[in-house]
Structure 1
Amino acid sequence: MGYSRRKFFGLAGTTAAGTLMASPLQALLAKKAFGQTTIGYGSLVPDPNNILELPAGFQYRILSRTNDMMADGNPVPGGQDGMGAFQGPRGTTILVCNHELSNNSGTEVRVSNRYDAVSRGGTTTLVVGSNRQLIKQFASIGGTIRNCAGGITPWGSWITCEENTSTPGNGMTQFHGYNFEVPASATSPVEPVPLIDMGRFNHEAVAVDPETGYVYETEDRGDSLFYRFIPNVPGKLAEGGELQAMVIVGKPSVNTNNRGSNAGQFVVGESYSVEWVKIPNPNPTSDDVRTQGYSLGAAQFSRGEGIWYGDGDIYFCATNGGLIGRGQVWRYTPGAETIELFVESQSADELKAPDNIVVTPFGDLILCEDASGTNFLRGVTPEGKLYDFARNALNGSEFAGACFSPDGLTMFVNIQSPGISLAIWGPWNSRR
């Protein structure tokens, strides 16, 4: 699931014929010698199919579209959102894909064992061959609401998150606002078991620290908190545990949006010590988990969304954070118990509304934009520099679900509407 930057470039720097290309360091030094200091992969090339603009040398393939017929005899649902990639048998990649569908959506994840009979969200599982061709797709959990993002686990499963806190009524018989676990190895719909101790709130995404088994959770609210779930038994989330919220030391109940009366409280690149408070009631009937934490000093984030673990750090997006409200990326380091404002958008031209996020095998971040107008996939270097990697040339829909194949050579991503899942590959080692 993870490659060091050196190992990745050693792999990516070999052509299919086995001829070694120049190392990234050699290429970087050569570019600096000739005065080439532009960050990224270069200008985006117009797509004759008007779907996805990419830098020269990169290409894409559509794997799946809404209403394609799946192996289980049902049409592909819409609302493709968060997604995770896993190693499958015989060189395949297994993708587990969320479908952010409400009870009144026009499509649904069809399974016989729904969590709630009238709820249409859930996940599908895609099996992709080593040739980047779809082998099959099928529904893997259903009966949930607005499965927005989620996260991969070190033990080979996908945690899918409900971005909804509905209560029984209007045909619903269940409380919503939970996480559910979908093993990547599942070949048919799994039994939907809500992970109650992980909290009942407007979930967005999760990331697992493989060193401890702790699960970090984001919440898509304007006054959201950043959570940590400590399981009773690492790797067995259904056996319960303790939910906590982050407090920034010396700044109790601070709003981190960095604007208005909070302007200038956080500086890009500076680290701040953190501690954690226990949420007294993680499974309330009302939607007040964040209120409980805030009253105990927990920090607020402006719409916590995508989150990903990479090389000892956990990165997450605050979609509406920052002085101009166009987004922030935060870096939390569990080993040091510190948090750092890693990126803050200074202009919509460089970044707007970062949502899903992935740490790439070569050390950069890829951010999926979810804003009005044109949306991009934006890259972020380890130094925090932004660059454009792709543009949605089809419509104004958001990007979602960016993740990499286990060998690190293919990125998968969704365009949420009309619902397209794509594979992208090319010269990853050529980034300037």
Structure 2
Amino acid sequence: MVSPLETFYARVARGQARTGIGYGAIKPKLPVNYRELTSTVIGDLSRIPLLELPPGFNYTAISIVGQSMSDGNPVPGDHDGMATFVGPRGTTILVRNHELDPDENEFGNTSGVIAPPEKKYDQINAGGTTTLVVGPARRLVRDYASLAGTIRNCAGGPTPWGTWISCEETFNRGDVGVVRHGYNFEVPANAEIGLADPIPLKAMGRFSHEAVAVDPATGYIYETEDRGDSCFYRFVPAVGKPNAPGQLVQGGKLYALKVVDKPTLNTTNNPNSGGSIGLVPVGVPLKVEWVPIDNPDPDVEDKAQGLGVRYEAQSKGAAIFYRGEGAWYAKGLIYFVATQGGPPAVDSTRGNGQVWVYDPKAETITLLIEAEPSGEILDEPDNITVAPFGDLFLCEDGGGEQFVVGVDTKGELYQFARNAYNESEFAGACFSPDGQTLFVNIQSPGITFCIWGPWLGKR
């Protein structure tokens, strides 16, 4: 998207509208497999349009909370971040997070991700991941628990060596004094039933993680942090460029992004959050450097004492982002989201969101998109993915109606899908390896969708 970005920035500078027609007007549709949805934990879904989509697009609804999985346990709730991998015999492997706290009790699902005690990182926590094997007809072939005993597994990211890195969005929330939380975990993308060993990747940092994106050219892993005063991180593995599961446990070095000559730059463009309106213009690259984190695994977080990963980073001049969330690698660039960055919204002191792009070769970050205060075009983007044909897809997590918002290669924003079932957030958007299917969740009550249609049609 590097070349099209130039057109996009020019349009912004001229004050031109950024709204496009996308694939056309979205309308309510029943899932193709509606006959299979008569009896679910959440009721009869066979006559309910769950999504609104453009003409020519269809979807199936699979792996719904409470349904029985292939390992005999119920599908956990709070579906969140996901990624896809090539499976055997034309299948797609989908690894999916579950953002569960230990005390959640949705639809009687008190146990969350179920696993034997020896395969649970923490015996009291309900989060983790499940793995789905999806057939060419977008029907479920197999699903099972693949990581257990973690907490608030929000997003993460795929690796080039065939694993999913699942991130805990917390600093602790476990058996205090017994089991520490706030880590990343690696989950192999397997087609056969099996649980990953729950080994925390401590060198990647202990903080409120959100997502990761891996640069395949270097093996560096970029990390976001979901806090109002978060930083953006780079992890350099000790093994050099990893090429197999399990190598990340050997450690590495953690760094935080700093804007050159602008120490502790507050990128929010919001005076309510310590920034100022227009301080960082859209489309202007900022040179960056990386400051080392000496203590990636702190015992406590304390701003007054400068204890904690982000506080150490900011003491060394690291830039501040308002709630770093989704991250994705595509064509040499790392895209990441600041969900509540930007100038104050009309109905809030917080912003409606920003999308940033980091260029590893140029060592720059650029504010790609800043949502309008009205929130009409984009309202608090969270997860992000980049389609094989170049468009960005953003999962909203604001109030009221929830949309998947596309951004085409001309820089025009369009509504691609609406949650027609309720007002729960979209999460986990990702394309199948062949680029034909978009997988996405609505988090609550927990439904995974497989969407297909004329992706290369006029936008």
Tell me if TM exceeds 0.5.
yes
- 1:344 and 2:358 matched: no
Taking only aligned residues, the RMSD between alpha carbons, in angstroms, comes to 1.5
AA at the equivalent of 2:146: S
Matched, 1:278 2:305: no
Do the aligned residues in 1 keep the contact of 2:122 with 2:174 (CA within 8 Å)? no
Q: Describe the shift of the 1:396–1:168 C-alpha distance in structure 2 as closer, same or farther (beyond 3 A).
A: closer
Matched, 1:93 2:87: no
Question: Which of these residues, 163, 169, 183, is aligned with residue 188 of structure 2?
Answer: 183
Which residue number in structure 2 is paired with residue 244 of structure 1? 255
Aligned residues of 1:39 and 1:431 also touching (Cα < 8 A): no
Please report the TM-score for the alignment, with normalisation by the length of structure 2. 0.84
Do the aligned residues in 2 keep the contact of 1:85 with 1:405 (CA within 8 Å)? Answer: yes
Partners in 1 of 2:258 and 2:202 — Cα distance? 23
Q: Deviations over 1:232-268 (max 9, x none)?
A: 1122211100000000112110110012242211111
CA distance in 2, matches of 1:39, 1:137: 37
Please tell me whether the aligned partners of residues 78 and 419 of structure 1 are also in contact (alpha carbons under 8 angstroms). Answer: yes
- Rounded to whole Å, the distance in 2 between the matches of 1:339 and 1:39 is 28
1:305 aligns with 2:325: yes
In 1, the alpha carbon distance for the partners of 2:381 and 2:115 equals: 32
* Cα distance in 1 between the residues matched to 2:258 and 2:170: 25
C-alpha offsets along residues 303-346 of structure 1, whole Å, 9 cap, x if unaligned? 00000000011100100000130000000010110000000001
1:121 matched to which residue of 2? 127
Q: CA deviation at 1:381?
A: 1.7
Distance in 1, Cα, partners of 2:411 & 2:260 = 24
How far 1:45 sits from its partner (Å)? 1.2
User: Alignment partner of 1:125: what SS?
Assistant: strand
Does 2:275 correspond to 1:254? Answer: no
State how far apart, in whole Å, the 2-side matches of 1:387 and 1:110 are. Answer: 39
C-alpha displacement of 1:38:
4.2
d(CA) in 2 for partners of 1:262, 1:394: 38
Structure 2 partner of 1:266: 280
Q: Which amino acid aligns with 2:125?
A: S
**Partner deviation per Cα, 1:135-155 (whole Å, 9 max, x = no partner):** 010000100000000000000
Distance 2:309 2:432 in 1: 35
- Map Cα deviations across residues 38-62 of structure 1 (whole Å, 9 max, x no partner): 4411110123523100000000101
Say whether 1:63 aligns with 2:77: no
Does the residue aligned with 2:231 lie in a helix, a strand or coil? coil
Would you say 1:40 and 2:26 are equivalent positions?
Answer: no
> How far did residue 355 of structure 1 move?
0.3
CA distance in 1, matches of 2:55, 2:367: 32
Instruction: Write the deviation string for residues 16-44 of structure 1: whole angstroms up to 9, x where unpaired.
Output: xxxxxxxxxxxxxxxxxxxxx94411110
Note closer, same or farther for the CA distance 1:86–1:275 as it changes in structure 2 (3 Å cut): same
The whole-number CA distance in structure 1 between the counterparts of 2:67 and 2:368 is 40
- The corresponding residue for 2:341 is 321
Name the CA distance, whole Å, in 2 between partners of 1:187 and 1:431: 41
Q: Is 1:412 the counterpart of 2:411 in the alignment?
A: no
The answer as to whether partners of 2:256 and 2:293 remain within 8 angstroms in 1 is yes
After superposition, what is the alpha-carbon deviation per residue over 1:284-317, rounded to whole angstroms, capped at 9, x for unaligned? 0113110000010000000000000000111001
Aligned to 2:361: 335
Which SS does the other structure have where 1:42 is aligned? coil
Change (3 A) 1:167 1:83: closer
Q: SS of 2:320's equivalent?
A: coil
Structure 2 counterpart of 1:110: 114
Partners of 1:169 and 1:413 lie apart in 2 by: 32
* Contact 1:83–1:401 (Cα < 8 Å) also in 2: yes
Deviation larger for 44-53 or 218-227: 44-53
Task: Using the aligned pairs only, state the percent identity.
Answer: 58
Q: 1:211 & 1:311 partners in 2: Cα distance?
A: 10
Please give the secondary structure, in 1, of the residue aligned with 2:97.
strand
Partner of 1:27: none
Describe how 1:392-431 pairs up with structure 2 within 5 A. 392-431=419-458
- Aligned counterparts of 1:196 and 1:80: Cα–Cα separation in 2: 25
Q: Which amino acid aligns with 1:102?
A: D
Q: Measured at CA, do residues 75 and 168 of structure 1 come closer, stay the same or move farther in structure 2, by a change above 3 Å? A: closer
CA-CA distance at 1:167 after TM superposition = 6.0
**Is the 1:158–1:182 Cα contact (8 Å) retained in structure 2?**
yes
| TM-score, L = length of structure 1 | 0.90
The one of 387, 390, 394 aligned to 1:367? 394
SS in 2 for 1:342: strand
Q: Which runs of 5+ in 1 are unaligned?
A: 6-36
Counterpart for residue 79 of structure 2: 80
**Is the contact between residue 85 and residue 93 of structure 1 (CA under 8 Å) also seen in structure 2?**
yes
Cα distance in 1 for partners of 2:202, 2:165 equals 13
Match of 1:381 in 2: 408
Question: Quick check: 1:342–1:384 contact (8 Å CA) kept in 2?
Answer: no
Please report how far the alpha carbon of residue 168 of structure 1 lies from its aligned counterpart in structure 2 after TM superposition. Answer: 5.5
Q: Using the TM superposition, name which of 148-157 and 106-115 deviates more.
A: 106-115
Instruction: Please give the alpha-carbon distance, in whole angstroms, between the structure 2 residues aligned to 1:183 and 1:169.
Output: 26
